[in-house]
Structure 1
Amino acid sequence: MLELRTYQEQLVNEASETLASGHRKIICQLPTGGGKTVCFAAITDRYTRKSAGRVFILVHRIELLKQARRSLDKFFQIPSHAIKAGTRWIPDVPAYVGMVESANRRIAKLPPIGLVIIDEAHLNTFSKIHAAFPDAMFIGFTATPISANKKKPLKELYSEIVMGPQISQLIKEGALCQNITISPREVVNRAELAIKNGEFDMEGMARTYKQTKFVKGAVEAYKKHGQHPDGSWMKTLVFNVNVDHSKMVTQAFIDAGFPAAHLDGTETPYRRSEVLRWFSETPGAILNNCAILTAGFDEPSIEMIVVNHATMSITKWLQETGRGSRPTEFKSMFKILDLGGNAITHGDWNADRDWRNLFHNPKKPRERDQVAPCKSCPHCDAIIPAGVRKCPYCGYDYPSAEEELEKDLGEFVIVTRGINVEALMAENANRKKYYTFYNLGRRIAAQLLKQIGKKGLTDERTEFALQEYYKLAQEWCKKNGKAWNRWHGEQARETLYAELMERFEWVRPEMRPHEPEPLPFKPPEPRRLPPPPEEKPRQQFELFTNTLQTLQKISSL
């Protein structure tokens, strides 16, 4: 029997405990490459050993069907039967592994099912399956628990989520490879692409990407980033927009002298297997496709993934990039070449994500992914965390915040640092002594307005301008034989703030309205019972009754 990895054992245990606690339908989240098929088999083994029920595993690709059945037999010796096109006879076995479409047409022939395991549950194409087995328990596996139809979130079908480890943890444990993501600047501007039904319009995007400059640009980007130090080329899987675009890119690689091939959903099974065998056996091979190898394709020798399109789907981004993450004896790192600005939008492949929050609080259509921000190194194009000041790949040193502001406010810096304090003092010799001191603040505010406009002032720019004022004011103090002290600093700050508020749509921080502090939690007081009624009204009523009875007796005499 197979010994599971620690995180797989934890996932299987937590899934079992969650079902046992009363949840009938749950999602299991596990990153691409984390071993979902092994977890299917382990859960099936545990369920069939502890109950007499049968398990039905649903997948989308014939390769996954074969892989799941091999895992059941090899690791746990569980007999299974395939439910696919052409299946006529269905024996009584502990487990069934079916293709989704074929299973939908053969549900009535299946014996009672106790547990249904669904792969790629985020695709949200399983309504018939859920309706067909109302009494069964369901486990939906996915690397990205976000429904493909964002208007119908997964939490409408599943009541709880069990989370596996983050990709970063799997990298540390050696279960996945470290990646380097490259995002060149000379790519299609995704802001100019039309959106249709929550995704970039494929026809429009294909027209853009099929332009000669972008087709050749893909080859040039590979030439720049796809070569090993020893001169050999990386085995590469390319995801293109559509079939025509994929064929154009394939031909461009061939024309450039690279071994390249194309694969799409129209190929015969024989042609498909031949192409995949060629890809596996050929060093430096480049295989172009469009969505056909997104899920369920496992080729550990891949060294580079090229995402040659833009997408608004984080699921698609992570599924495609994850194809290169399988470690081997000869591979500990792979590259992602992002030609669609996807990493900046969705975050790097290895970024930590709060899947529990995304499951229970699904995003509205077109809402941006909540992930740590990143940026592209201007020297080597690598994607790195936004807060990093030194690129870990090429050693590029980012300018400090002050240096960036200096570049941002170029003319302002030149003018203010060119102010001649001594000349101003001579010019204002007949005025009051501190006139030049305060006039420096007015000059700085006026120059800043000229540079950035009435709406361009930020707190960072304000602080930069204040520091420039301090330097000039300190020079004034020195030339006037005065010590720079706290009073001078306060005067400079108050002067500049007043000038800025007069000229800009800006309010100093301490004057801004702020939300009131939430009141501290106060537990409700225990409910008090109403006081008992006073005895006096009752006594009056009894007196009235007695009097009435006495009068009745007198009247009867």
Structure 2
Amino acid sequence: MILGVVEKEKNIERELYTYQKEAIETIFERFKSFPESYNILYQLPTGGGKTVIFSEIAKRYIKETGRKVLILTHRIELSKQTSKTLTEIKVKNKVINSTVKEIPNQEDFMCYVAMVETLNNRLKEKQLDMKNIGLVIVDEAHYNSFRKLFKYFSKCDILGVTATPLSSNINLPMKNTYNELIVGHSISELIEKSFLAKATTYSYNVGLGALRIGINGDYTVKSSEVVYIDYVMQEKLIYAYEERAKNKKTLIFNNGINTSKFVYDSFKSAGYPIRHLDNKHNDSERKEIIDWFRETPDAIITSVGILTTGFDVPDIEAIILNRATRSLTLYHQMIGRGSRIMDTKKTFTVVDMGNNLARFGLWEDSINWQSIFKNPDFYFENLTSDENIERLFTYEMPADLRKKFKKSSKFEFDVEAAFKENKNKGLKPKLALDMAIEQHATMCLENSEDAYDALELIKLLNDSIAYRVQQ
């Protein structure tokens, strides 16, 4: 583990922090300790400056060895970002995207930045002959799409960088690709030293009984949409936004385009400035939406997974997780979008609408990455199940909802206690549910003018009803 005091140090070309310098030194020391073809995985939280670190590594490697560096990315935004960073530190580089069919002047470049699928196609079709590559750097290394390229660079050193050293494919653990993991500073350390903003997290319990797990190990889009397109969930989302994130620049993450569009319609109808963005938008549409988001105070973007990487708007003040996930990587990526620190922004808000906090803990909690790297199966097997999460949940009626039942003196009803009491008295235990229904009905009658009002109030008790049934 890289240790040491984190502090700013001035540098005319690029300001590097002590922990970044220490990471670079540690990585070079490890490569020098082994023969060629040694694979290192480096972990650093989102916002810690991974791009800066591996760009400096590329510059130093070229200078010290005279050999070329190949940097692999999986999204065009990351390719552009990496190329820009390299150019800033005077590393002449060539981006290999879909428009590049060949590189006739290879001697002019010591560094390439390549989209993984494009490069794989060019190499497979023998359109490119990349010579004198000594180091391959893999950005967002937890994605498995990169593995197909490693056979072309079997004699090269490989450096993978990621915020979460947990493979996107549970059947292809990262320990099978990388010889060792180097762990950088933790989120809490970077927050303490004012390199990341501090998150304040609020969690709203949701019933996830309808969710189904797909072959990739995460919840399916289809089952997520059943839960999150529901009218009650939309109402709960707007309530959570108004309670915790109103008037803040906000990103809302969803699992499914249809859900995101429903969120857009709901917020638009409520009068909030919101745009929807998904991977079906072309480059010009995407740019227009993101520019609008940057320039509009209190703006909201609702999206799917398109903004989890390669998207940097420092003044984001709130992240809403309007989805459940079993992916620790995705959990950290989504929250990380709000972690950039500014002179005018030291904290940000996280609103969890998917029981993710109960599943993974706080974003800034300490994580034993070495253990996860070496034993990923053990980690997955011990993820808290949705059943256990909901079993531990205790429903408490929100203050705003209580106001709608202000004429009632009793809001709670312990179904479990009533069940046991009826059983001990020799009565049918299921009478407890009848008693719970009667208590809800009394609340609605006490606070309504007529039957229509009572029916509207019943709709507001869905969470309370679900909790009592669960008991």
For Structure 1 versus Structure 2, the TM-score category normalised by the shorter chain is 0.7 to 0.9
Whichever residue aligns with residue 21 of structure 2, its letter is: E
TM-score by length of 1: 0.65
Per the TM alignment, residue 342 of structure 1 is displaced from its structure 2 partner at its CA by 0.4
In the alignment, structure 1 residue 190 sits paired with structure 2 residue 205: no
In the alignment, structure 1 residue 210 sits paired with structure 2 residue 229: yes
- Give the distance between the partners of 1:313 and 1:366, measured in 2 at CA: 10
- Give the distance between the partners of 2:82 and 2:146, measured in 1 at CA: 19
Whichever residue aligns with residue 214 of structure 2, its letter is: K
Measured at CA, do residues 213 and 10 of structure 1 come closer, stay the same or move farther in structure 2, by a change above 3 Å?
same
- Give the distance between the partners of 1:32 and 1:100, measured in 2 at CA: 21
Match of 1:483 in 2: none
Per the TM alignment, residue 112 of structure 1 is displaced from its structure 2 partner at its CA by 2.8
2:120 aligns with one of 104, 126, 132: 104
In the alignment, structure 1 residue 174 sits paired with structure 2 residue 190: no
Measured at CA, do residues 357 and 366 of structure 1 come closer, stay the same or move farther in structure 2, by a change above 3 Å?
closer
Superimposed CA distance per residue, residues 295-327 of structure 1 (whole angstroms, 9 cap, x where no aligned partner)? 121111110001101111111111111100001
CA contact (8 A) 2:210 2:223 kept: no
- SS of aligned partner of 2:160: strand
Per the TM alignment, residue 191 of structure 1 is displaced from its structure 2 partner at its CA by 4.3
Whichever residue aligns with residue 248 of structure 1, its letter is: F
Superimposed CA distance per residue, residues 79-136 of structure 1 (whole angstroms, 9 cap, x where no aligned partner)? 0000001113423211001111111122341223110000111111122211111101
CA contact (8 A) 1:297 1:323 kept: yes
CA contact (8 A) 1:146 1:154 kept: yes
- Give the distance between the partners of 1:380 and 1:350, measured in 2 at CA: 28
- SS of aligned partner of 2:142: helix
In the alignment, structure 1 residue 95 sits paired with structure 2 residue 95: no
Match runs of 1:61-460 below 5 Å: 61-74=75-88, 76-90=89-103, 91-92=105-106, 93-107=109-123, 108=126, 109=128, 110-185=130-205, 187=206, 189-197=207-215, 198-227=217-246, 233-364=247-378, 366-369=380-383
Per the TM alignment, residue 42 of structure 1 is displaced from its structure 2 partner at its CA by 0.8
1:44 aligns with one of 41, 54, 58: 58
- Give the distance between the partners of 2:270 and 2:255, measured in 1 at CA: 21
- Give the distance between the partners of 1:244 and 1:136, measured in 2 at CA: 44
Whichever residue aligns with residue 172 of structure 2, its letter is: K
Per the TM alignment, residue 192 of structure 1 is displaced from its structure 2 partner at its CA by 4.0
Following TM superposition, where does structure 1 have runs of at least 4 consecutive aligned residues deviating by more than 2 angstroms? 363-366, 373-381, 407-411
Per the TM alignment, residue 196 of structure 1 is displaced from its structure 2 partner at its CA by 2.0
Measured at CA, do residues 320 and 31 of structure 1 come closer, stay the same or move farther in structure 2, by a change above 3 Å?
same
CA contact (8 A) 2:276 2:301 kept: yes
- Give the distance between the partners of 2:288 and 2:394, measured in 1 at CA: 39
Whichever residue aligns with residue 323 of structure 2, its letter is: H
Measured at CA, do residues 298 and 376 of structure 1 come closer, stay the same or move farther in structure 2, by a change above 3 Å?
farther
- Give the distance between the partners of 1:134 and 1:61, measured in 2 at CA: 24
CA contact (8 A) 2:45 2:187 kept: yes
- SS of aligned partner of 1:288: strand
- SS of aligned partner of 1:190: coil
CA contact (8 A) 1:151 1:364 kept: no
Per the TM alignment, residue 380 of structure 1 is displaced from its structure 2 partner at its CA by 11
Measured at CA, do residues 171 and 365 of structure 1 come closer, stay the same or move farther in structure 2, by a change above 3 Å?
closer
CA contact (8 A) 1:237 1:286 kept: yes
- SS of aligned partner of 2:381: coil
CA contact (8 A) 2:308 2:330 kept: yes
Measured at CA, do residues 297 and 73 of structure 1 come closer, stay the same or move farther in structure 2, by a change above 3 Å?
same
- SS of aligned partner of 1:315: helix
Per the TM alignment, residue 3 of structure 1 is displaced from its structure 2 partner at its CA by 3.4
Measured at CA, do residues 85 and 380 of structure 1 come closer, stay the same or move farther in structure 2, by a change above 3 Å?
farther
Superimposed CA distance per residue, residues 139-164 of structure 1 (whole angstroms, 9 cap, x where no aligned partner)? 01100000111111001111101111
Per the TM alignment, residue 347 of structure 1 is displaced from its structure 2 partner at its CA by 1.0
TM-score by length of 2: 0.76
Match of 1:404 in 2: none
Whichever residue aligns with residue 32 of structure 2, its letter is: A
- SS of aligned partner of 1:195: coil
- SS of aligned partner of 1:287: strand
Measured at CA, do residues 256 and 50 of structure 1 come closer, stay the same or move farther in structure 2, by a change above 3 Å?
same
Which stretch shows the higher mean deviation, 53-62 or 357-366?
A: 357-366
Gaps of 5+ in 1: 228-232, 382-406, 412-446, 452-557
Whichever residue aligns with residue 104 of structure 1, its letter is: N
Per the TM alignment, residue 13 of structure 1 is displaced from its structure 2 partner at its CA by 1.2
Per the TM alignment, residue 329 of structure 1 is displaced from its structure 2 partner at its CA by 1.8
Match of 1:5 in 2: 17
RMSD between superposed Cα atoms in Å: 2.6
- Give the distance between the partners of 1:5 and 1:134, measured in 2 at CA: 33
Whichever residue aligns with residue 255 of structure 1, its letter is: S
- Give the distance between the partners of 2:248 and 2:267, measured in 1 at CA: 13
Per the TM alignment, residue 67 of structure 1 is displaced from its structure 2 partner at its CA by 1.4
